[in-house]
Amino acid sequence: MSQVDAREAMVLDLLLEADGGVVSGQFLSEKLGLDPSEVYRRLNGLRCRGYGIQRLRGGYRLEQMPDAVGHLEVGAFLTAAEIGRVIHHREKVPSTNEIAFRLARGGAFHGELVVAEQQVRGRGRCGRNWFSPAGLNLYFSVILRPDLETARAPELTFVVAVALARALGESLEGPVGIKWPNDVQIQGKKVAGILPELHAKGNLVDFVVAGVGVNVNMSESDLPVALAGKATSLRIEKGRTFGRPRLLAGILDAFEDTYNQWIDEGFGPIRDAWLSLDVTLGRKVRVGDEGGENLVGEAVSVDESGALVIRCPDGGLVKVVSGDVATFLGA
């Protein structure tokens, strides 16, 4: 962040701390060590970014924040120490994973974030497109550099899914579930998805790019016909819009907490948390692979590596490490 951005961020922090109250120009000047004209410049800089700052008798009051997801906006709410501390904000990208992968290969650090207002070639699991209209949702990718053997890399999918479900559940103040391995759902409809992509050096992880899409402020009329009845958004579920900067910061904070728990304690606690959020086990499922083969049976457990265990009609057990899962209604 440039020095100008840093000073504007400090002014913003003080306005936010006032929680709707009036902050005097003298207080800002003394607190930041800036002369009054410099404080005024920073306030105008914030106004140019879309912040509604009212000048009143006795000082200034923050009345409105822009619904952008840049460093200044997200950083105002972020408490994570590493995840999201460097944000690469773009208006339009092919996909955030594509940009993040390129940055990671160029040496970007653990925790750097690529976030976009729109994707034109957003990607989901199993080669699907991720519907990414401008300015309504969250599309972001986190660069991760765990000291890890590649055999354990699939665990990260569960780490991200648990963090995402926890954060969205807190924002919604209601139940959020996970369909194996990483589709986050509300009442059986998909609200968020995850696309992790790995780069390895030998049998060790070089980096992982964890791509995330969250349907935030789409209305039912915004959804394509193909997604009707299958997808939802936070706005559809709660009947109101959500501030994306605060929501993204909450997701990143939850992700850092969950990621650090995984690093410190291993996969066991993450698996337990995932199971507490699961909506797959105990149901009849159909799992399709990229070759078009389908396996039908009952989802009975998730093993210590994260594989889905299916009981086939003949009673045999099969472990599935990847695939597209469909659950049968009423099963």
**Domains of the chain, CATH where assigned:** 3-64 (1.10.10.10), 71-277 (3.30.930.10), 284-327 (2.30.30.100)
Q: Are the C-beta atoms of residues 213 and 233 closer than 8 Å to each other?
A: no
- 154-193: pLDDT as tens digits: 999 999 999 999 999 999 888 899 998 889 999 989 999 9
Residue among 195, 201, 56 at smallest CA distance from 119: 195
pLDDT at site 289: 65
Residue among 37, 41, 43 at smallest CA distance from 56: 43
- 13-43: pLDDT as tens digits: 999 999 889 999 999 999 989 899 999 999 9
What is the mean pLDDT of the segment spanning 271-292?
85
d(CA 102, CA 86): 15
- 48-82: pLDDT as tens digits: 988 999 999 889 999 999 999 999 999 999 999 99
What is the mean pLDDT of the segment spanning 195-215?
95
pLDDT band at 224 (very low <50, low <70, confident <90, very high): confident
pLDDT band at 268 (very low <50, low <70, confident <90, very high): very high
Q: Are the C-beta atoms of residues 235 and 216 closer than 8 Å to each other?
A: yes
pLDDT at site 3: 46
Examine the pLDDT at 213 and tell me if it is beyond 80.
yes
pLDDT at site 125: 54
pLDDT at site 47: 93
pLDDT at site 305: 86
